[in-house]
A and B are shown apart, each in its own frame.
Chain A
C-alpha cells in the first residue's frame, strides 16, 4: 500500500506536472527492480484503456523528461531507482526501515520505558503460557556509562525470565586502549583526559556482579567481552533498539541515537546492526563476575590464557 500511496503522492506533485494518463503509467511501476518496458506496458494494458505501444513509449519518454531522467543507457531502470530512492527518503520509507526517531543523545527515559514495556509483555505472555521468543535485553558497548542507572531494570528483567546479553570491551585489549586514547585526545567531553576504559568496564562488571548477587544466580544473564575494535553502541529492549556510532569527539551516549523498531518490514538497517551484534557475540569470550570470587584475575587472563 505504501508504495502505491507514494506513487500517487509523487505523481501528483506540481513540480513534475504529470497528466492523468502519465500518472496511470507511473502507478503500474512495481517496487522491486527488474520490470521491463514490455512488462510495464502489459500491466498498463490490463487496468487501463488499451493504447498502441508506440503511444505508450512516447508517454514514457515524456515521463523521463519530467522526472529529469537524463543518464545514459536504459531510462526505465533509472526512473525506477530514482523513485525507490525518493520512496526510502519519504516518511513511509523511514518507517518501513524501522527508523522511529532520532535522538540528540541517549534517551534515558525512553529506554527505561522500553524495558518496562518488555517486562509487562513478558509477564503477561507468561501468564498466558506463551514463551517470549525475541523479548531480550541486549547491550553492546565499550563500556556502558549508564549501566548502573538500569541496574534495577536488569534485576527485574532477569527475575521475570528475560534473557539479558551484555557485550563489552575486554578492558586489557589494545583496541580498548586505542578507544581511550582517541577519547582523551579528541573528545569534547568534560573530564575527557581522565577517561580510563579499564576502570569503566570494571565498574560495569561490578554493577553486573551486584545484579547476580541480588538475584542469587546468574540465570538468564550472559556477559561476553570482545578484543576487537569497538565501533557501535546498541541498546535493545525487546522490539526497540537504540544505535549510535563511536565518534572521535564524544562518548556514544552523547552522540545522536537512532531509535529503531525491530519489527520493521525492511531489515536493511536493523538486520545489519543485529547481525553485527551476533558476529561480535560469536567472537567474544564469556565472562561472569561471580560474587565473592577473585574474578579480576580471571578477567586479566581472559584473552591471554
Chain B
C-alpha cells in the first residue's frame, strides 16, 4: 500500500512538474522568438519571425500570444513588402490569426489595435472595393481598443498614424496627429508590460512618426 502510495506520489510530483515545465518552455520559446524583433528590417525577416511564432502557436493552441504575434508579423511584412501580389495573402493570414487570438482572449485592447491595423491593410489592398467597408470598421475597432484599455499607448499611436497619413479632406489632421502621437509617447513612458512576452512594441516607431508630424 505504502509502495503504491509512494509511486503515486512520485507520479503526482512528476505530473505537477510536467505541468509547469511546458509553460516555462513556452515562455522561453516566446522570449527567443521575440529577441531581436526590434532589429527586423525586411519583409523576409518578419516572415521568418512569423514562422517561429506560428510553430509555437500550432503547439500551444490555447495561448493567444503566439497567434497575436503571427498576425503582427504578417502585418509588418505587408508594410515592408514590395510584392503587391502577396498583400491579400498577408492580410488574410493576419486576419485568421488575430481572430484565433481574439477567440482565446476576448475583449483585449492589444488585439483590437491589431485588428484595426489589419482593417487598414484591406483598405490599402483595394481602396475602391474595401475602403467604404473597412474605414468605419477600422475606427470602430480602435475605439473599442481604447475603451478596453485607455492606457494602451498603441491605441494612440495607431490613431495618430491614421490622422497623419489620411488626406486632410478625409479627416486627416497633422496638428491633431502630433498631439495624439505625443499622448502615445507619454503612455509609452508609463506603460508597464504585464509579462515580458506581452505586446510591448512601437515606442521607437512612435518617435519616428512624431518626428514626421513635427516636420
Binding partners A and B: no
